[in-house]
Amino acid sequence: MSVDDIRETTAPEPTHPELRVRKLSPGAWLRLFVACVVVAVSGGVRLWQAIRVDAVLDAGRQSPFPLDTLPTMLNSWKGETTVMDDQLVRATGSTDRVTRRYIDQRTGVGLDVIILYGPTSDMFIHSPELCYPKAGYHSFGDAKTCDVPVAKEKVPFRSVVYAKGEGGQTEIQEVYYSWRYNGRWTPQVSGPKESQRIPGMYKVQIARRVSSTENRDLDNPAEAFLEVLIPELERRITADPSPRPTAS
* Per-run averaged pLDDT (10 residues), the chain, 248 residues: 48 52 65 64 48 46 88 96 76 89 96 92 80 88 88 91 86 94 86 70 94 85 96 87 44
In a domain, 65, yes or no: yes
In a domain, 98, yes or no: yes
In a domain, 52, yes or no: no
* Residue 155 phi, psi dihedral angles, 5° rounding: -105, 120
**According to the model, what pLDDT value does residue 150 have?**
84
- The span from the CA of 211 to the CA of 74, in Å, is 25
In a domain, 232, yes or no: yes
**According to the model, what pLDDT value does residue 88 have?**
67
- The span from the CA of 219 to the CA of 175, in Å, is 16
In a domain, 141, yes or no: yes
In a domain, 13, yes or no: no
How many domains does one find in the chain? 1
Question: What is the span of the domain harbouring residue 97?
Answer: 60-238
**According to the model, what pLDDT value does residue 47 have?**
43
**According to the model, what pLDDT value does residue 55 have?**
43
In a domain, 182, yes or no: yes
The residues, any chain, with a CB within 8 Å of residue 76's CB and separated by 6 or more, are 104, 105, 106
**According to the model, what pLDDT value does residue 76 have?**
96
In a domain, 20, yes or no: no
